[in-house]
Amino acid sequence: MLVISAAVRPKQKSNSAKIAKAFVSGFNKPASIMYLSERSSWNKIIKDYQKADQIVFVVPLYVESVPALMLEFLEQLPVHDKPAQMAFILQGGFPEACQSRCTEALVKTLPSHFGCSYGGSFIHGDMFGLAFMDGKAVQSLTKPFFQAGRLFARTGNFHDPAFRKWESPERLNSAQILMMQLISPIQRLFYRILSKKLGRTRPIDDKPLLSEN
């Protein structure tokens, strides 16, 4: 199995890289992880893709779809030499699975362009915080991907309904929406504190391009 992280961030800072690692760890069979952010390795990725019969892309949500980088890579990817399967792990910062349905609709269509079958998608959001975590916190937040890897080792695809219990809820329920609205001021304060810690020097809601008019 070849797992391809489609993140643009360098792997040291990439949530998709952490998720790929957790998935492979749960899979617990021979598998390699490669990173599209390392453009110099694209030829090697293409060679390894031809040797693999299972290809799993870990895809971060970029404006309702896959990142431009992944589309660029796919334009260079040849049709697979032998029967193979492409499956997709879709992850993002929003908590609901519905945020990734449009991405899912696109990735479903991709395998046929490469002579591959579609091995389904596994959708899990709420990953924004992963970027700021390490150690056990990463292990805890990526547990659904570890579990998905373990199950994938048995099923060989994401079509099995058993995967759904590890996915994010489709939508927030009314109680969760109310909670989100109630904690919104606290959340905004948290972002202001976080951004200050990261070295922000201007207001977080600044409008710098407007002032240039």
**Interface contacts to another protein, rule CB under 8 A:** 7-9, 13, 60, 62-69, 71-72, 74-75, 94-96, 98-99, 102, 105-106, 109-110, 113, 131, 171-172, 177, 180-181, 184, 187-188, 191, 194-195, 198-200, 202-210, 212-213
Report, in Å, the least distance between residue 184 CB and another protein. Answer: 7
Report, in Å, the least distance between residue 23 CB and another protein. Answer: 19
Angle between helices 143-155 and 15-27 (to 10 degrees): 40
Q: How crowded is residue 118: how many other Cβ atoms within 10 Å of its Cβ?
A: 18
Q: How crowded is residue 210: how many other Cβ atoms within 10 Å of its Cβ?
A: 7
Contact 141, 129 (CB under 8 A): yes
Report, in Å, the least distance between residue 183 CB and another protein. Answer: 10
Contact 113, 77 (CB under 8 A): no
**46/172 with CB nearer another protein:** 172
Give the CB-side neighbour count of residue 135, counting CA atoms within 13 A.
1
Contact 102, 65 (CB under 8 A): yes
**94/166 with CB nearer another protein:** 94
**7/24 with CB nearer another protein:** 7
**30/63 with CB nearer another protein:** 63
Report, in Å, the least distance between residue 98 CB and another protein. Answer: 6
Q: How crowded is residue 161: how many other Cβ atoms within 10 Å of its Cβ?
A: 6
